[in-house]
């Protein structure tokens, strides 16, 4: 059983389209992070959200933490081919510092 369910697992869109990736759980998380991973590389942190209802923006990327701190979403506006990659959400439960629980990831492909 996956504690953090990410959807969709695969997404192929055209340049300029908008998309949303979801990360859902029945458990409460102290904080939640979003990473992006390129093939053959390690994950790179995009954002950390801590407060329920929090919204953070990073250029064309908007991250939201659910009010109950059980879910999160990543929205990309006007996707570009450079956005192609694996997007991972990861959460920390009950202040268990160090133990990040990862979702399965969303493989995004943006075609020119």
Partner 1 sequence: NAGVMQNPRHLVRRRGQEARLRCSPMKGHSHVYWYRQLPEEGLKFMVYLQKENIIDESGMPKERFSAEFPKEGPSILRIQQVVRGDSAAYFCASSPTGQWMNTEAFFGQGTRLTVV
Smallest distance, Å, CB 106 to partner 1? 11
Q: Which of 11, 30, 20 is nearest to 90 (CA)?
A: 30
Smallest distance, Å, CB 16 to partner 1? 29
Question: What contacts 24+ positions apart, CB below 8 Å, involve 96-102?
Answer: 96/30, 100/33, 101/3, 101/4, 101/29, 102/4
2 Cβ contact list (under 8 Å, min separation 6): 103, 104
One symbol per residue from 30 to 59: x for binding partner 1 (CB under 8 A), - otherwise; what is it? xx-x-x----xxxxxx--x-x---------
The residues in 63-102 that bind partner 1, with binding defined as CB under 8 A, are 88, 90, 92, 95-102
- Contacts to partner 1 by CB under 8 A: 2, 30-31, 33, 35, 40-45, 48, 50, 88, 90, 92, 95-105
């Amino acid at each position: 059983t996956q504690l953090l369910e990410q959807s969709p697992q695969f997404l192929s869109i055209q340049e300029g389209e908008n998309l949303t990736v979801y990360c859902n759980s029945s458990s409460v998380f102290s904080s939640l992070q979003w990473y992006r991973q390129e093939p053959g590389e390690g994950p790179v942190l995009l954002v950390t959200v801590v407060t329920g209802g929090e919204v953070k923006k990073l250029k064309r990327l908007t991250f939201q933490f659910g009010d109950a701190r059980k879910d999160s979403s990543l929205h990309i506006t006007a996707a570009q081919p450079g956005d192609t990659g694996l997007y991972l959400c990861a959460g920390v439960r009950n202040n268990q510092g160090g133990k990040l629980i990862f979702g399965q990831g969303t493989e995004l492909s943006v075609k020119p």
